[in-house]
Amino acid sequence: MMRLGRYAVLGGAACASLAAVAEAQFGGIPCSVLDNRPCAPTVCSPLDGEPCQPQYPFPLGENLQLTIKSAEWNRGDFVDRGHPIDTIRDLFAALRACWQAPDGDDEHDGMQMAVRFAFKRTGEIIGEPRVTYTTPGIDDDTRKHYRDAVSRALDRCTPMPFSAGMGGAIAGRPIAIRYVDNRTKGPP
């Protein structure tokens, strides 16, 4: 019983010293979620063999978001399967290169559509990409044409040739892509 008391005191001292470090470095004061002030909650028990670790939320901007504008990326290139994608920058470039906006009567100035999906380690898409936004007031046929264009672009790109490290890092993380048709129609 005496030993347990010593560990509880040592564990409490470790939590207190890490709390001071967290307050100095991060400006957050470790505390309980039941306190009536802002704080940096911690997970700590005197019975744990490790010191207290403050829990900090993910930094802003951790989610993967991409905007593809049709006037800049209507090239219709394809992904180079011989070159593994190893960075987020390479992934975004590949997704941009696969985009081809609808042409002719199907195009609509200012049309926006956003989709959300995730990749498997193998570079395939998990499930069906979900449309999260379309420009309001657009007729169903135009929406369908843009949805089909998004589906064709993702079909052209997948499966992505991820490196082993990139596949492990990207697997299951949501990606949001906003497609913007910013081309201007010329006079008929």
| Domain identity same for 104 and 132 | yes
Mean pLDDT in the chain?
74
Residue 8 has pLDDT above 50, yes or no: no
| Domain identity same for 81 and 167 | yes
Instruction: Tell whether 187 is covered by a domain.
Output: no
The pLDDT score that the predictor gives to residue 39 is 60
Between CA 112 and CA 125 the distance in angstroms is 22
Between CA 57 and CA 30 the distance in angstroms is 13
Higher pLDDT, 69 or 75: 69
| Domain identity same for 85 and 136 | yes
The answer to whether 154 and 125 are in contact (CB under 8 A) is: yes
| Domain identity same for 78 and 44 | no
The answer to whether 95 and 177 are in contact (CB under 8 A) is: yes
Domain containing 75 — which CATH number? 3.30.1150
The pLDDT score that the predictor gives to residue 69 is 85
| Domain identity same for 170 and 78 | yes
Q: What tens digit of pLDDT does each residue of 126-155 get?
A: 989 999 999 999 889 989 999 999 999 999
44: left (phi over 0), alpha (psi -120 to 50) or beta: beta
- pTM for the full predicted model: 0.62
Residue 173 has pLDDT above 70, yes or no: yes
Instruction: Tell whether 185 is covered by a domain.
Output: no
The structural domain count of the chain equals: 2
The pLDDT score that the predictor gives to residue 70 is 79
| Domain identity same for 111 and 166 | yes
Residue 2 has pLDDT above 90, yes or no: no
Instruction: Tell whether 120 is covered by a domain.
Output: yes
| Domain identity same for 173 and 80 | yes
| Domain identity same for 101 and 124 | yes
Residue 119 has pLDDT above 90, yes or no: yes
Domain that holds residue 73: 64-180
Instruction: Tell whether 188 is covered by a domain.
Output: no
